[in-house]
Amino acid sequence: MKRRAIFRSPWKDIAQFALLIIVAVWLLSLSTARLGYYWQWYRIPRYLFRVVDGRLVAGELIEGLLFTFKISGVSLVLALALGLATALLRLSDSFMGRILTRLYLEVIRNTPLVVQIYLVYFVIGPILGLGRFASAVMALSLFEGSYISEIFRAGIVSLHKGQWEATYSLGLSRFDTYRDVILPQAIRRILPPLTGEVISLIKNTSLVSLVALSDLALQARVVAADTFLTFEVWFTTAVIYLAITVPLSVAVHALEKRFKVLT
């Protein structure tokens, strides 16, 4: 009984969510009718896909989505590397290393991401000679890296200290200990929260539209402004984000369930 409470099926949540959307749309259609809003859903598909010269090409929204994928992917790889390095440095014997990582974490955690994006874009980027894309990637990686490092650290310290003692008494180096014993176990444990962080990274990329990078959010703004299809465009955009994040969220649940059973 207790297990059921912990491992609630995500499908129930999704069904509830779908119901909520239907009710919201219904309420909205009532109020838009009063506003005199004139729904024109038929004009939306061409911003997803259109046929040019007999070939299917991506519309603005899908192009924005692909860009969102690209920037999320690059940032994720860098954030994982940075997060792991930060976690290892924090757990190391190096005094300087611990001070530096502490400073990094405090600064990133206690300022808004928007401010960080602007700061990197307008100040640090030009100093380092970074382009717009590189600046945005840097800001996102620094931000996500700080959260991911905490997840790595928690995963590493959650392992029984007997694992360290066993590798110590076998003569394994610190590097081998991490590579062969600690990280493989830690990564299994942190996969669920790590996937959660991927979701938050994808959502956070929408902020790069502030520095005029043509991700999904910016494309939506442009299309909405061009066509006055405000409601249709933003609903579609929300659904696209959900189409990526909900499956990931389901994956998180599934992973949590599997690894809880295993350990």
Partner 1 sequence: MNKTEYDYIIEIENVSKTFTGGVEAVRDFSAKIRRQQVVVIMGPSGSGKSTLLRCLNGLETPDNGAIVVDGIPLDDDKHHRLEIRKEVGMVFQSFNLFPHLTVLENVNLAQMRVRKKDKAAATQRSTELLQMVGIADKVNAYPAQLSGGQQQRVAIARALAMAPKVMLFDEPTSALDPEMINEVLDVMKVLARSGMTMVVVTHEMGFAREVSDWVIFMDGGQIVETGTPECIFTNPQEERTQRFLSQIL
Closest CA to 189 of 222, 139, 151, 244: 151
Q: Are 245 and 203 in contact (CB under 8 A)?
A: yes
Q: Which is nearer to partner 1, 122 or 168 (CB)?
A: 168
Query: What's the longest Cα–Cα distance across the chain?
Result: 76
- How far is Cα 155 from Cα 151, in angstroms, rounded to an integer? 6
In the shown chain, the binding pattern of residues 153 to 192 toward partner 1, with x for contact by CB under 8 A and - for none, equals: -------x-xx-xx-xxxxxx--x---xx--xx--x----
| Min CB(4)–partner 1 separation in Å | 24
Whole-number minimum distance, CB 212 to partner 1, in Å? 46
Minimum CB distance to partner 1, residue 184 (Å): 5
| Residues in 50-89 that interact with partner 1 by CB under 8 A | none
Residue 208: name the closest of 70, 23, 1 by CA: 70
**Residues 6 or more apart from 211 whose CB is under 8 A from it?**
117, 118, 121, 132, 135, 136
Q: Smallest distance, Å, CB 185 to partner 1?
A: 5
Query: In the range 192-211, which residues lie near partner 1 by CB under 8 A?
Result: none
Closest by Cα among 212, 208, 192 to 260: 192
Least Cβ distance, residue 186 to partner 1 (angstroms): 10
Size of interface with partner 1, in residues (CB under 8 A): 17
For partner 1, the binding residues (CB under 8 A) are 160, 162-163, 165-166, 168-173, 176, 180-181, 184-185, 188
